Amino acid sequence: MLEIDCSKINEAGGQILRTSLGLSALLRKEVKITHIRSGRPNPGLQPQHLASVNTIASMCSAELEQANPNSSSLVFKPGKIIPSQLSVNIGTAGSLSLMLQQLLPVSLVEKIELRAQGGTHVSFSPSMHFMQEVLFPQLKRMGLHLDLDLLQFGFFPKGNGRIFFTSEKPKLPLKALKLSSLGKLSYIKCYSICSGLPREIAFVQANSALKSLQKKIPDNDFEFVEQVNATPTRKDTIGTALDLFAYFDSGLVLAGNALGEKGKPAEQVGQEAADNLLTQLEAQKSCDLHLADQIIPFCALAKGESELRVSKITQHCLTNIEIVKLFLPEAEMSVHGNLNEPGIIKIKGIAFTGLP
């Protein structure tokens, strides 16, 4: 059994749990994880983590030990992965994208259908729009076909967002991913959303983002595609968000987003999202900083050498590399650059084709 002490790995956050259980289920390797989320203010397994743990356990008939609220340890003994049609309600605004992160490795060997309810746009996690526009298209280039319907938005603290996720069983091994050249900026897509608040807020956010981008991008040489979605009468979740995606003729996408909160002007939300995108555009690197850590496990499972030229090497990147090495010691991984600076990540995968 593989034993992982979270307190000894970088920021000791939930990323360790997600990557570990995803790879444990895929590779059918038993794992014991201790000091779970010890680097967080509310350590241990919270409701959203337990929902994800129980969901992936059901996909591979895993035996669980110590899977209890606030537990700091967990034993996960996976069985064979089976095709799954599941319905999950996190019960809070727990991030649906983080739940999907944990489940995605399973989709390499069996078809998944998942209806889930929780948070779609919440702090410290990728938005559902990010999954649709950035992560899933790159996984498709590698050979993994995923589909995500965003049925209803969900914000902190109530959640109540809804998604429908499906996957097709791919032909293995996955292809390596070479993200080396951005190419020319084609257009910028803007998703401005709000719920339970005046619809004007969504338009102000989008207009603020556009003005900020026009000030910094030379000659304003881009098309701005605006999609506004406002549900002012809906009160079961209240909040706003803005996602920006810069599309290049190479097929690559860089992202920047921001969330609204009580007392935060809509203009500030738009400017913050624009600033986050502009930071990546100025770095002129082909791999979005939030894409890098999420794609690392798949690169390690692919055939050939992947190369990620990332706008910033994050702790999440380094954490995922460390966890992947524990499960796939034969994969070759190297990082060229310093933490929180642009760099290159090279990964020679193992050409995973499944288990007997």
Q: Are residues 279 and 188 in the same domain?
A: yes
Give the dihedral sign, CA 335/338/340/343.
negative
**Residue 153: how many CB atoms within 10 A of its CB?**
26
Q: Is 336 part of any domain?
A: yes
Q: Are residues 188 and 270 in the same domain?
A: yes
Q: What is the pLDDT of residue 73?
A: 96
Cα–Cα distance, 223 to 185 (Å, whole number): 9
Cα–Cα distance, 187 to 254 (Å, whole number): 11
Domain final residue, candidates 63, 80, 97: 80
| Across 100-104, 178-182, 282-286, 303-307, least confident range | 178-182
Quick check: 188 pLDDT over 90? yes
Question: At 189, is the secondary structure helix, strand, or coil?
Answer: strand
Q: Is 133 part of any domain?
A: yes
Q: Are residues 269 and 322 in the same domain?
A: no
Provide the annotated active-site residues: 316
Q: Are residues 163 and 203 in the same domain?
A: no
Q: What is the pLDDT of residue 91?
A: 87
Per the structure block, which two tokens stand in for 157?
A: 């603290």
Q: Are residues 185 and 277 in the same domain?
A: yes
Domain final residue, candidates 53, 80, 107: 80
Q: Is 353 part of any domain?
A: no
Q: What is the pLDDT of residue 180?
A: 81
User: CA dihedral defined by 38, 41, 44, 46, rounded to 10 degrees?
Assistant: -150
Q: What is the pLDDT of residue 219?
A: 74
Domain final residue, candidates 80, 112, 135: 80
Q: Burial code of 121-136, b = ≥16 C-beta within 10 A, e = fewer?
A: bbeebbbbbbbbbbbb
Can you give the CATH number for the domain in which 266 is found? Answer: 3.30.360.20
Can you give the CATH number for the domain in which 14 is found? Answer: 3.30.110
Can you give the CATH number for the domain in which 115 is found? Answer: 3.65.10.20
Q: Are residues 191 and 277 in the same domain?
A: yes
**166 confidence band (pLDDT: 50, 70, 90):** very high
The residue assigned the tokens 């608040």 is 197
Contact call for residues 156 and 203 (beta carbons, < 8 A): no
Cα–Cα distance, 202 to 129 (Å, whole number): 16
Q: Is 355 part of any domain?
A: no
Structural domain harbouring 109: 83-172
Q: What is the pLDDT of residue 234?
A: 96
Indicate the number of domains in the chain.
4
* Residues sharing a CB contact under 8 Å with residue 41, sequence separation 6 or more, in sequence order: none
Q: What is the pLDDT of residue 10?
A: 87
* Residues sharing a CB contact under 8 Å with residue 193, sequence separation 6 or more, in sequence order: 121, 153, 202, 228, 229, 230, 240, 241, 242
Per the structure block, which two tokens stand in for 28?
A: 């059918």
Residue type present at position 316: H
Q: Are residues 311 and 238 in the same domain?
A: no
Distances (CA, A) of 160 to 52, 90, 155, 186, 234: 16, 9, 8, 35, 11
Quick check: 177 pLDDT over 80? yes
Question: Is the bond preceding 173 in cis, omega lying within 30 degrees of 0?
Answer: yes
Q: Is 41 part of any domain?
A: yes
Q: Is 356 part of any domain?
A: no
